[in-house]
Amino acid sequence: MKILVPLKRVADPDNANKVKIPASGATIETTGLEWKPNPFDEYALEAALRLTEDGKAPKVRAGEVVVVTFGPKETETTLRAALATGADRAIRVDAADDKLDGHLVARALKALVEREKPDLVLMGKQAVDGDSNQVGQILAEQLDYPMATFAATMKEEAGGLLVGREVDGGVITLRVKFPAVVTVDLRIVAPTSVYSMKTAPAFKYNDGVRFAALPAIMAAKKKPLAEVKLADLAADQGLRVTYHGFQAPPARKAGIKVKDVTDLVNRLKNEAKAL
Amino acid sequence: MANVLVVAESAEGKLRKTTHSAVTFARQAAQALGGAFSILVIGHNVAGAAEEARALGADKVLVADDASLKDYLAERYAPTVAEVGKGYAVVVGTASAYGKDLLARVAGRLGSGYAADISELLVEGGTLKYKRPMFAGNAFGIMSVSTPVQVVSVRQSAFAAAEPSGGSSDVAPVAVVAPGAAASRIEMVSFDQVKSERPELTEAKVVVAGGRALKERFNEILDPLADTLTAALGASRAACDAGYAPSDLQVGQTGKVVAPPLYFAIGISGAIQHLAGMKNSKVIVAVNKDGDAPIFQVADYGLVADLFQVVPELVKQLKAAKAG
């Protein structure tokens, strides 16, 4: 199975409350925040690795995992890290972060998919900076591919996947045939979420994503990393949406600590009038 | 003529309440554009949902009812929604799991810019701008869409459910557009529904949410509190990941976003991703053993205590207060 995994770097999501908006409201400043891979994309990579191996022999790749990112030279750090955890090769689409929107990324990915012909495009359901949750769906439609968004489980079958999607009110199970697009949710990296046909049904993964050992980090420096110009993938580089400015959310005024349950019930009833 | 199309969401032939939030947006947008709004009800055996939609003040209720639309699949719905949507300035739905899945695909089909999960409509000189939370709610972006058709999804907790208008809209059937090759490579195998007698998490007046600290006693401890308050149950990601609560209950940046009048965070430390899903609640109560937990920075009333002792006591006192 050949899988293409698009990765985006984002400002450290665990410190997202430290983003700053200048008085002009012109930008969001993430100065001082470390770049991290978008967590959902990291989960997609982990899921791609699980789909292309026997769980008990994770160093042998059955098929190919190709990672791609959009951005300046420095985003190659994100790609090298992905190569170290087991991806076979990487592509960087040279682009400026602020000259992209979801449609443009999807258009360029479409061209890349037509070149690379993966069986599966596997990506995060959303990037946790823009929080739009759109590229997978737009890409699938433009390719006329089936899609399964918010995947929590995946099981490889002949020529496709059985995918469990977390939706309002329960879990929908879909059968998709390749080529397809799948976007993943948080629980795709639980111990029993993803099974290739090689992995024994009783096998359990460690919870979460795998980490690269030092020799793998060294070896990753020699893995192929190609650079592609955005213009080679997308003739039309127009944007469909424009951001005019940014605002900080209103601060919540500090609350109080109550001394016990009686105090709490009393305040909820008489002060907040919430009961 | 600049009109607005609401893509309704239905289940088992009934309109889902998510639709009413999109209608609230549509009323605002139609007024700003000097146009009207229609509601598209799509699915199979949706006559009941269409009838409900007629009460919401739309210019027209359009109905795409076909056996091929029995199971919701974006591959089958998007072609018809896009075809109908072409004639409108704005196509809008609510950012539920259904809306997020479908509307982005519709935007892909129309080549339209997409304003996702917006929390406010801003009108400037007759043009529409959208305010939307980003970075787990730590920033708002003000954006606009430059394509002839704009696709929008609205955050349910930020747009109050539309009330019936008193009128009764005309109903017109619309043709179902045949799907592309994608539809032949996908099928729905099953839908395992989580049945609950409690109010919907996104619509409840009170939410009782629990964290990992509850362990296997999640329901044992929280059910009585939720029962007493007629509350919906919610959970932190950690509690869902650990299997203490079903994932359907997750509140946060990537789970459900709620803003009830009263929110209880029980044994929830308050990670940024969780706060993004609940910090617009009117009154927040937090119970946590750790007095430095970040949840206390957003809580109106914080109680530093062992939840296993405090919650049963709270249930007792709430019952007594009710009886009194």
Domain residue ranges of chain A, discontinuous segments joined by +: 2-270
- Report percent pLDDT > 90 for chain A: 95
Kindly state the average pLDDT of the residues B151-168: 95
Q: State the Cα–Cα distance between residues B194 and B243, nearest whole angstrom.
A: 14
Query: Is B22 within 8 Å of B6 (Cβ atoms)?
Result: yes
By three-state DSSP, how is residue A83 classified? Answer: helix
Per-residue pLDDT at B275 exceeds 90? yes
Per-residue pLDDT at B194 exceeds 90? no
Kindly state the average pLDDT of the residues A110-129: 97
Q: State the Cα–Cα distance between residues B26 and B42, nearest whole angstrom.
A: 18
CB contact under 8 A, A260 and B247: no
CB contact under 8 A, B139 and A21: yes
Quote the tokens at residue A24.
């002009």
Interface size, chain A vs chain B, as Cβ–Cβ contacts under 8 Å = 271
pLDDT at B321: 85
C-alpha dihedral sign at A251, A257, A263, A265: positive
**Those residues with Cβ within 8 angstroms of residue B323's Cβ, 6 or more apart along the chain or in another chain:** none
Per-residue pLDDT at B324 exceeds 80? no
Residues of B in contact with A130 (CB under 8 A): 134
The answer, for A166 touching chain B at a CB cutoff of 8 Å, is: yes
Kindly state the average pLDDT of the residues B272-290: 97
Q: What is the pLDDT of residues A26-40, one digit of tens each?
A: 999 999 999 999 999
In angstroms, what separates the C-alpha of B288 from chain A's closest C-alpha?
A: 11
In angstroms, what separates the C-alpha of B26 from chain A's closest C-alpha?
A: 20
Quote the tokens at residue B303.
């109680």
> What SS3 string covers B229-273?
HCCEEEECHHHHHCCCCCHHHEECCCCECCCCCEEEEECCCCCHH
Q: Which residues of A206-238 are buried (b: 16+ CB within 10 A; e: fewer)?
A: eeebbebeeebeeebeebebeebebeebbeeee
Q: What is the pLDDT of residues A157-201, one digit of tens each?
A: 999 999 999 998 899 999 999 999 999 999 999 999 999 999 999
Per-residue pLDDT at A252 exceeds 90? no
The DSSP secondary-structure symbol of A20 reads B
The answer, for A149 touching chain B at a CB cutoff of 8 Å, is: yes
Mutate to test the interface with B, among A186, A267, A269, A273 (most CBs of B within 10 A): A186
Least confident span in A27-31, B175-179, B205-209: A27-31
Quote the tokens at residue A266.
């009393």
Per-residue pLDDT at B1 exceeds 70? no
Residues of B in contact with A267 (CB under 8 A): 301
Q: Of B257, B244, B241, nearest to B210 (Cα)? A: B244
* Nearest CB to A17 within list B73, B144, B272: B272
The answer, for A231 touching chain B at a CB cutoff of 8 Å, is: no
CB contact under 8 A, B100 and A149: yes
Per-residue pLDDT at B106 exceeds 70? yes
pLDDT at A249: 93
Quote the tokens at residue B218.
């999640």
CB contact under 8 A, B135 and A150: no
Kindly state the average pLDDT of the residues B131-135: 97
pLDDT at A254: 80
Q: Of B204, B250, B203, nearest to B229 (Cα)? A: B204
> Using CB atoms and an 8 Å cut-off, which of residues 41-100 of chain A contact chain B?
none
Give residue B182's identity as a one-letter amino acid code: A
pLDDT at B87: 95
Per-residue pLDDT at B80 exceeds 80? yes
Query: Is B248 within 8 Å of A168 (Cβ atoms)?
Result: yes
Q: Of A89, A93, A118, A109, nearest to A225 (Cα)? A: A89
Q: Which CATH architecture has domain A2-270?
A: 3-Layer(aba) Sandwich (3.40)
Report the mean per-residue pLDDT for chain A: 96
Q: State the Cα–Cα distance between residues B95 and B76, nearest whole angstrom.
A: 19
CB contact under 8 A, B136 and A128: yes
Residue position matching structure tokens 């026997």: A54
By three-state DSSP, how is residue B8 classified? Answer: coil
Cis peptide before A72 (omega within 30 of 0): no
* A243 — pLDDT class (breaks 50, 70, 90): very high
pLDDT at B213: 96
Strands A120-124 and A89-94: unpaired
Spell out the domains of chain B, with CATH numbers in brackets.
4-185 (3.40.50.620), 206-323 (3.40.50.1220)
In angstroms, what separates the C-alpha of B190 from chain A's closest C-alpha?
A: 5
Kindly state the average pLDDT of the residues A253-257: 89
| ipTM topping 0.90 | yes
Residues of A in contact with B74 (CB under 8 A): 137, 147, 149
* Nearest CB to B98 within list A132, A168, A180: A168
